[in-house]
Structure formats: structure tokens, C-alpha cells
Structure 1
Amino acid sequence: MDYPLRQGMLWAGIYRIDEFLGMGSYGQTYRCSDLRDGSTVLLKRAKPSKRATGRRLLKRENDLLRQLAHPQMPRWLDWSKHRRETALVMEYIEGLNVEQAILLQERTYTQLESLRMLQDLLPPLEHLHHAGYVHRDVRIPNVILSGEEIYLIDLGLACRIGEANPDGQERDREAAPSGFADSWGAVKHRMRQPEEASDLYGLGHFFLFLMYAGYIPEEGQTELSWEEELALDPMVKSFVKGLLESRWRSAAECRQQLEKTIHHYSSGNNK
């Protein structure tokens, strides 16, 4: 039922399917050409197997994206009908997501590079929060690196702050992302709460993924906590713990502390 659309197919007589990009819990994404002007766009359709839930979440993402206007988030372009289906069409961001950079290009990141990446992600999160929404899925596949720019994508799980039961009755059986193993259930539960602190919690795990990209355990070493395995500067470690412990209730509060942490670290006070 969820077999991808074939390459070359025309959606609504306007968008030519050029490449199947991937499939998430509720949707499929495609790189397409807009035959009216030759531009490249991203088309997202609901997974047919998700039926009403997939269609509802896609419409919610469409309505949200239309309200937003931030240079680090894709622009809404169209809500397109094709036969009995509808699709969200948005700006296509050229580049690799952070997961691809780590796994395919074997990129590693220093503490300062990772802190600055968090700093770059806070503006689009603040914009989203000010609009009254929370992302709920701040993870390495949803951050794209495009030259010197960084983008936050995929609002498929975003919901209103404080929204009751945002996922309806659907039970999300998505497999654990690489690196989470048995802990993914608890992490996902915390990331999915409809509050701003959930996105800051996601940033904490995002930072740890960047750090573990360059971590090589000693042979035979017993698995330890991230605090024991990663040799982080004490102030950096304290900041990351603050993200994971919901020490700050807003992105603005978090940004202030992050700026202090970056200043401390980059000024040579780190050990």
C-alpha cells in the first residue's frame, strides 16, 4: 500500500516525480519539478496505510507551514489535489541532513561546533514557539546542512502548545532511530509532550548525537552513561544536563544560557 510513486509520474499534471526521498511514520517525501517554471520542490503525501490519521496530520502540517515565515524553515508553496489524494508542496532545501553527514560522510563535531549548531537551531524554534506551536521531533534527520546554512524541517509531528492528545488514538510504532536502542520509548515520550521544553530536550539529544559521532569506546569497555563516556567541558556538560532536565521553559531562556556557555568555551576557559 505504501509503495512509492514511480519516477516520472505527474502529480496533478503539474509536479513531475523526480526522486523518492524517504518515508517517515506518517508520510512520504519526493523531490519534484514544477513544470510551470522548472523549479525544484518537495512534495509530501500521507502514507496510504495511515489512512485518516495520515491525512489529518498532513493537513495540520500544511496549515501550520502556511502560517510560518522563517529563512531557516521551508516555505509553503501549495496544497495540491491529485485524484483522491492531497499533498503538501514546499520549498526544496538542497543539502544533507545531519544524520547523512554523520553516517555517509563520517562527519564528526567538536564541542564548540556542536554548541554553535544548537545556537543556529534556536531561532527557527523560537519562531515556531512564538506562533504557538512545538516541533516535537528535533532530531538529526530533521536538520539540513546547506552550505553555510542550517535548516529545521519536517513539521509532521508539530502541534499546538498545550494541545490535548495531539496524536489522537494512533499508536506510533516507529522503529527506534539509530543510537537510541531500548531507551527510545522514554525519549520519544518526553520529546512528544506539547510544550516548548520538549524541543529543548530534543536539542540535548541532538547535541549528544553530534558528540557520539566522534566517540570511539575502548575495546571491551562496559557501556556507561554519556556523562562518563564523553569528555565534556564542565560548563558544557551542565548546559546539556539542563536541556535534558527541562531547566529552561523557553527557547529564549535557553539561548541566553547557551550564549554564556559558548563565550566561556570559546574564550579559552575550557579545560
Structure 2
Amino acid sequence: MPPWLDDPFPKRRKPRRSLGPIGRDYLVVNAKAQRGKGGVYEAIDLSVAPPRAVIIKEGRRHGETDRDGKDARQRLRHEGKVLRHLRHAGLPVPEVFREFIQSENRYLVIEMIDARPLLTAKQLGPTPASWRRADKILRQLAPLLQQLHAAGWVWRDCHPSHLLLQRGQIWLIDFETACRPNERRISPWGSANYLPPGYRDKTYRSAGTLEDDYALGVLAFQAMCGDLPPPTFRRRFKFYRRSHCPSHLLDRIENLLRY
């Protein structure tokens, strides 16, 4: 086509991808996740000087409404409340900077933690796995969960993607489904492989901290063996023996995996 002629059949230009504005003070730079309940965005907070990196969580009205009738917007409001309580109790959780409603959706602006997850999505365990790693994760995480429970909450979503490592410190994130230990009339909740098997067919959860205890046991087993725990002790024992796991550590992990 000569440069002085107009192309009668111009190629269609791809529309520029835009995440759209969220609030007046935030410049979204990346969408970390996008689901029916809403997105999770990395953004720059321009309301402060100097500007700071933040995470913006979105809870859409009617998004992923659960059996208890709560939608993503209600769960996000709940998470803001839980984060404030846990932060006040001295737990390593992100600081809440702001909450607001826009176009009937709720937004929670929180501190961005410059850290990496305990395990990537494709990892079943650390490299190399060992009983010493299992002992270390128990020594680091068990006191945090005890502190969380003493503050009056059960996490119910403890798994590697929600545990961030920053220079040896563990940070806890994502508390949309946290509940009080004595709450019973709510549906069981947890991530695949970290929810107690006995909870999968239940209508309501039982009082206590079983969800967090079981998840801690799974995490310790992964750190020791590089794999998820089989459903029976007989099969798990092969992993313990192969890892030369001390009896006191075996007993502790098994107590956590008991449901």
C-alpha cells in the first residue's frame, strides 16, 4: 500500500487494556487476581507523600454469595474488621489504610508486604524438605496461631499462599472467612488440602480451632516430606520413617492432623 493512500481495510486495533479507575487517589498497576467475587490489585496510593505501594481488594455486590447469604462485599467488610483487631493484638498482618464503596462494590486498601509466599502454587513442599524444616515451621507458626486464637479468632484459611516470608518473619494475610472460635451456625470453610476431611460434608462447623490446627499439621508434614499427608497413619508413617522424623515431632504432627 503506497504511503500516500488510505487503507480501505485498516487492521482493527486491539483495544488498550485498562483496569479502570478505583477511587480518586489510586493508580492501579497490576491485577494480581480476578474472580467473580472481585479483584486484587497492586496500586500506588497518591494521597500521601511520598506515594506508597498498596494492595486494593475488591468485594463485588452479590459476588460469590455463600450458603450463609454473605456476598464478597460483606466478607471484605468483615476482613477489614478482623485485620484491625489482629493488628491491635500485635499480630503480623497488613495495616488497613482505607475502606470505601464505589459503584456498589466495596474496596479495602491495605499495606503491601514486600515478601514471598511460603510455597509457590506449584510447590508441594520446600527444597530440600526435612524434619528440621517441619520443626522450624511449627516453632514459627504455632505461636502466631495461638496468639490469633487468644485474640478471639479462627483463621480458617491457613495455607502457603497466605503465609508470606519477609527476612525470616512470617506475615499472615487474607481473613475474609475468619470467625470466632465458638461460632457454629456458619458453613465450614477452608482451602483444598488444608480443610479437615471431616468438615467437607458438614452443614455447619464445630466450635474450636480445628481448621487452623489441621492446616498447621498439613504445613508441617509438607515441610518434612515435600508432599501432602496421605489420609491414613499407616501411609503417613512411611514418610515419617523415610524422613528420620523424631518421635516427639511425629506425635505433634499427628495430634494436629487428628480430626
After TM superposition, the score normalised by the length of structure 1 is: 0.70
CA distance in structure 2 between the partners assigned to 1:25 and 1:184 by the alignment: 22
Q: Is the 8 A contact 1:134 1:194 kept in 2?
A: no
Does the alignment pair 1:64 with 2:58? Answer: no
Q: Residues 113 and 105 (structure 1 numbering): CA distance in 2 closer, same or farther, change over 3 Å?
A: closer
The DSSP-based 3-state class of the residue aligned with 2:57 is strand
Q: Secondary structure at the match of 2:253?
A: helix
CA-CA distance at 1:13 after TM superposition:
0.8
CA distance in 2, matches of 1:156, 1:27: 13
Based on CA coordinates, which of the two structures has the bigger radius of gyration? 2
Deviates more, 1:158-167 or 1:25-34: 25-34
Cα separation, partners in 2 of 1:59 and 1:101, compared to 1, 3 Å: closer
Q: How does 1:207-222 map to 2 (within 5 A)?
A: 207-213=220-226
Residue 228 (structure 1) aligned to one of 228, 238, 257 = 238
CA distance in 2, matches of 1:245, 1:105: 21
Paired position in structure 1 for 2:24: 13
| Contact in 2 for aligned 1:109/1:214 (Cα 8 Å) | no
Matching residue of 1:124:
144
Is 11-20 or 106-115 further displaced after alignment? Answer: 106-115
The Cα shift of 1:143 comes to 0.6
Letter in 2 for 1:50: E
Q: Deviations over 1:154-197 (max 9, x none)?
A: 11220111113234xxx97x9x74xx4xx96826649x645223
Q: Percent identity?
A: 22
Deviates more, 1:23-32 or 1:158-167: 23-32
Match for 1:196 among 197, 203, 209?
209
Distance 2:154 2:36 in 1: 18
Q: CA RMSD in A?
A: 3.2
**AA in 1 matched with 2:64:** K
Whole-angstrom distance in 2 between the partners of 1:188 and 1:17: 38
Go from structure 1 to structure 2 and tell me whether the alpha carbon gap of 1:13 and 1:45 turns closer, same or farther (over 3 Å shift): same
Q: Tell me the CA shift for residue 89 of structure 1.
A: 1.5
Q: CA 1:72/1:106 → structure 2, altered by over 3 Å: closer, same or farther? A: same
Give ranges in structure 2 of 5+ residues lacking alignment.
Answer: 1-16, 229-233
Distance 2:35 2:207 in 1: 20
Residue number in structure 2 paired with 1:82 = 102
TM-score by length of 2: 0.73
Contact 1:102/1:213 (8 A) holds in 2? no
Give the superposition deviation at 1:126: 2.5
> What is the rounded CA distance, in whole Å, between the counterparts of 1:63 and 1:193 in structure 2?
23
SS in 2 for 1:28: strand
